[in-house]
Structure 1
Amino acid sequence: GERGGAPGVVFDRVDAAGTGNITAPQLQSALAVGNLDFPLSVVQQMIRMYDFDRNGTMSFQEFLALNKFLQKVQGVFSTLERGRGFLSLEDVYEALIKLGFSLDSPAFYTVCESFDKSKKGMVRLDEFISICIFVQSARNLYSSFDTTKQGKVTLDFNQFVYCTANCRI
């Protein structure tokens, strides 16, 4: 491949047909190679987050943007997991703050509960990434409605449904 570095190698391997774009199932299998097992719904959300041209697939540039986000999230996870392989809920809260997300208790616990499959308060890397993808997607969507940057939005019911459907994982 003409693309440099590890992300380029991964992208070119997944884009075996050389189309210049990868689909959600292709991205899902690429991530699985790195021991990141995500449901297809989470992978589709990753694509929606970085699909700048809105074509439903991921170009190399979009893949680089996602990769940068994943590296940052994995870095924060690594600094807080202390060799245990998981984060406690307190760690998750601290990690989100390090990533620039400050949630109040009801929002924080509701998000954690929806991604903590084992319900033991031990959040693995893939679950943590899923949480971050969700919160980042919610922030992006919220910002698109918060045009005055006042931190408050008014939604009618249709806009609310649109938002929840867009953030659904």
Structure 2
Amino acid sequence: MRKPWCSTSSLALALVTVIVVGLAGAANAQGAAPAPAGPPPPAPTADEIKKVTEYYLRGKDVGPILMELVVCKKMGKSAENKSICEEKHGDTLKKGDPLIAFTRFFVPKGAKYEDLKVKFLLNGEVRSTSDFTLQESWTGYGNYKQTTASKPGTWEILVLRGETQLATAKVTVVE
């Protein structure tokens, strides 16, 4: 009887590595954000990698995962930086400043979701709503919607899928 050329666990690790490297390369070719500078994060456990990979491969019917909502002042302008929040807002901003809702979603393989929206509210009143669509993304599908903080008060950004609120952020606008 011949011995297999590699163990099942080695084959599984090689497959996950090929998938992750291949998908990351494809995402970078599509203009995904470069890796942040600084020390590397702690390595995930094998179970964490398995769970995320399984969700990516089979989670299409469950939905996208909102990874972050950032209240931005300035987005990148160049092709490679257009999906990067270059300058974040603090808790307070000035009337007339741009108010940008930057989101990043993990989107399962083969998925497309057309029921997402960002709402900008001033003192609880809806000022604008922007719909958007998400498609498959392993490294995070970045999207941003913008308005102008045209009046002083409490501005709130809501990220929704259908009528389900995924995230919210509040800022105060002053004269």
TM interval, short-chain normalised: under 0.3
User: TM-score, normalised to structure 1's length?
Assistant: 0.27
Higher RCO (C-alpha under 8 Å, 6+ residues apart): 2
Which protein is richer in strand relative to its size?
2
User: TM-score, normalised to structure 2's length?
Assistant: 0.27
Q: Which structure has the larger Rg over C-alpha atoms?
A: 2
Which protein is richer in helix relative to its size?
1
